[in-house]
Amino acid sequence: MTKIETNKAPGAIGPYSQGMVSGKLVFTSGQIPLDPKTGEIAGDTIEAQSEQALKNLQAVLEAGGAALSTVVKTTCFLSDMGNFAAFNAVYSKYFTGDCPARSCVAVKTLPKGVLVEVEAIAETL
């Protein structure tokens, strides 16, 4: 296994890695909408936060030798299922064509009080 580390996504804020490569698979940790340059939450709307979380996810995937186009499964966590349609609008800009399998669930709270978190499993390029 190989640990993924990139400064193009927020560093881990606990005892975990941004992601791991195992064989031909890349497993990302959940990416929240922190701006990797400032460490601050990117915006206060579901749209702005979804954009940043997905940009962070893309950066971790790329650092692990994968891409959004090689994602086979995502798990998406929303703080409010009322944001589902707005989240989908942003998500659909990042995943087009044959979209990966996905679970999307509402949770009580997310780290730092953010509105969204996304993790993925992908194949390496």
User: Distance from CA of residue 67 to its chain's centroid?
Assistant: 12
Instruction: Judge whether 42 and 55 are in contact, CB under 8 Å.
Output: no
Catalytic residue, candidates 104, 106, 111, 119:
104
Which DSSP helix (H) or strand (E) runs through 3?
A: strand 2-4
**For this structure, is 104 an active site residue?**
yes
Residues with Cβ within 8 Å of 91's Cβ and at least 6 positions away in sequence, in order, are 50, 54, 76
Q: Classify residue 10 by its DSSP letter.
A: P
- What Rg do the C-alpha atoms of the chain give, in angstroms? 13
Active site residues: 104
